[in-house]
Amino acid sequence: PPRVFSGIQPTGSIHLGNYLGAISQWIKLQDQNEDLILSIVDLHSITLPHDPKKLSRNILELTATLLGCGLDPSKVILFQQSMVSAHTELCWCLGCISTMARLAHLPQYKEKSANLKNIPLGLFVYPVLQAADILLYKATHVPVGEDQLQHIQLCQELAKIFNNRFGQTFPMPHTLKISNEYSRIKSLRDPLKKMSKSDPDEKSRICLTDTPDTIVRNIKKAVTDFTSEVTFDPENRPGVSNLISIHSFATGKTVEQICKEAEHLDTGRYKFVAADAIVAYIKPIQESIAQYLDDKGYLLSVLAEGGEKASEIAEVTLKEVHNKLGLRVKY
């Protein structure tokens, strides 16, 4: 039976790339009554130097954000990765069938380690942990943005290697394709990069928790090009096209409709139109997030219950893996 798994890191405020590329897809799957398991992957968030207090705060904030976006913990399993110790145990087992050469080629590792003098081992192993996250639940489908495709490929390879060596255990996890427009929302400061939580420049993203003023200011400063017309051309005009994509999502209008309505505007004035629409779209979500944030007890109870449900499934797989590897001796 199909089962969907996805994860999100509590490294910072959730931005529209996360929302369009991941969370809104999860809501759709939830509404279709899919078997959906979502993890706040906090163990991934310690692969780079971090502040423990901030991480704890981010975990609660992310939980409130996911609920505020419409995820319903009675319909999906929403849990915190570090509460289910089977993730790191399976990661070890999969690490033993991974090669250093294979991991060294992954683009995210290259990007995130580029500016580091001392590269943490965890950053290198990260994609193996991600494979463990998925395989632990025998997920068949993984909705992710474009940045994660190579990691899913690695996960498929590891599943294959494990099944071949130790007997059929894991179903092949497939990526769930997201419509191209939203699979890679660009940074406002550099439209060749994706929008990221961990980008040090806060002006590079639009966060769900940003004030209207901040959103308008950041969009106004968004890097576009020297052509003044508003046209959609992601190849040659990634900056303005990025804004049009987000604007289109926020209003439900087609890209053509938006360009038509902006015929008499230059990109500078168009930015204000887009910003207003985006602010209006986010407002009710923000209000809902704020309400959840006021009830920390409830957030903790959601995570505790989700952790129990996830553990139940994870323990079964881990036991099977241990048996297959000859670790748990049976009499």
Strand order, beta sheet including 77-80? 77-80, 36-40, 4-8, 141-143, 174-176
Q: Which of 100, 80, 78, 81 is nearest to 89 (CA)?
A: 81
- Residues in contact with ligand ATP, counted by CB under 6 A, come to a total of 19
Measured from the CB atom, is 145 or 191 closer to ligand ATP? Answer: 145
Window of 3-11, 31-39, 152-160, 288-296 that interacts with ligand ATP by CB under 6 A: 3-11
Q: Is 151 one of the binding residues for ligand ATP (CB under 6 A)?
A: no
Q: How far is CA 268 from each of CA 120, 219, 228, 244, rounded to the nearest angstrom? A: 43, 10, 8, 13
The secondary structure of residue 329, as a DSSP letter, is: -
Measured from the CB atom, is 138 or 184 closer to ligand ATP? Answer: 184
Window of 8-16, 56-64, 227-235, 283-291 that interacts with ligand ATP by CB under 6 A: 8-16
Q: Is 184 one of the binding residues for ligand ATP (CB under 6 A)?
A: yes
Rule CB under 6 A: choose which of 9, 81, 130, 248 binds ligand ATP.
9
Measured from the CB atom, is 17 or 73 closer to ligand ATP? Answer: 17
Q: How far is CA 172 from each of CA 22, 60, 164, 240, rounded to the nearest angstrom? A: 21, 32, 12, 38
Measured from the CB atom, is 8 or 321 closer to ligand ATP? Answer: 8
Q: Is 8 one of the binding residues for ligand ATP (CB under 6 A)?
A: yes
Q: Is 194 one of the binding residues for ligand ATP (CB under 6 A)?
A: yes
Q: How far is CA 99 from each of CA 93, 105, 164, 328, rounded to the nearest angstrom? A: 12, 11, 16, 25
The secondary structure of residue 45, as a DSSP letter, is: G
Please report how close the Cβ of residue 144 comes to ligand ATP at its closest, in angstroms. 4
Q: Is 195 one of the binding residues for ligand ATP (CB under 6 A)?
A: yes
Interface contacts to ligand ATP, rule CB under 6 A: 8-9, 11, 17-18, 21-22, 144-145, 147-148, 183-185, 194-198
